Amino acid sequence: MPGRDRPQQGTCRSCYGAPMAAKQAEQALVRRWRDMLALHARTQCALDRALHGHGVCASDFEVMDVLAANSAAHGCSYRVQEISERVHLSQSALSRLIARLEKEGLVERGTCPEDRRGVRVSLTAKGRALHGEVLPVQRAVLTRMLSDG
């Protein structure tokens, strides 16, 4: 019979409308995800440019900021594992970053008293001073990049 494979009149919306709406929702979701990635990349670049003059990059500052917040609240240090959970770096990348900050005299490492295999990291006086100097610069970049409007 001719026309047998065609949907009956009135079924196009119900049969084909839902997949179209789902496809549009998926496209909107992917666009939103890519917009977030682009904002992250632009913000990271802006932070790196602003912090470069102070001798640190955005990742360096993130580690210092975590350590500064902890020492202000508790007067102590973080285990490397705790820092890696907060700064979204792999443990190996974080270890290299900490080694570089230590070489620059910004952080110091020590053995965990509760677990001799663990390593604790804290800011040095030089690291606290640099953090205090760079903090307003970093926050200004975040305000500029992440403000609505």
pLDDT score for 131: 97
> pLDDT digit string (tens) for 89-128?
888 899 999 999 999 999 999 877 766 677 889 999 999 9
Read off the CATH number of the domain in which 114 is found.
1.10.10.10
Rounded to whole angstroms, the Cα distance separating 37 from 40 reads: 5
- What's the pLDDT score for residue 9? 55
Q: Is residue 19 part of a domain?
A: yes
Q: Is residue 108 part of a domain?
A: yes
Domain span at residue 51? 11-146
pLDDT digits (tens, 9 = 90+) for 20-37: 888 999 999 999 999 999
Q: Could you give the CA distance from residue 15 to residue 92 in angstroms, rounded to a whole number?
A: 52
Strands (E) across the chain are located at 78-79, 107-111, 119-123
Give the model's confidence band at 77: pLDDT under 50 very low, under 70 low, under 90 confident, else very high. Answer: confident
Q: Is residue 1 part of a domain?
A: no
Residue 26 forms part of a structural domain: yes
In a domain, 92, yes or no: yes
Average pLDDT over residues 76-99: 88
Give how far Cα 80 sits from Cα of 54, 77, 113, 125, Å: 24, 9, 14, 19
Q: What is the count of structural domains for the chain?
A: 1
Q: Structure tokens of 54?
A: 């102070």
User: Distance (Å, rounded) from C-alpha 133 to C-alpha 18?
Assistant: 55
Whether residue 29 lies inside any domain: the answer is yes
Asked if residue 2 belongs to a domain, the reply is no
pLDDT of res. 33: 96
Least confident stretch, 56-60, 72-76, 88-92, 98-102: 72-76
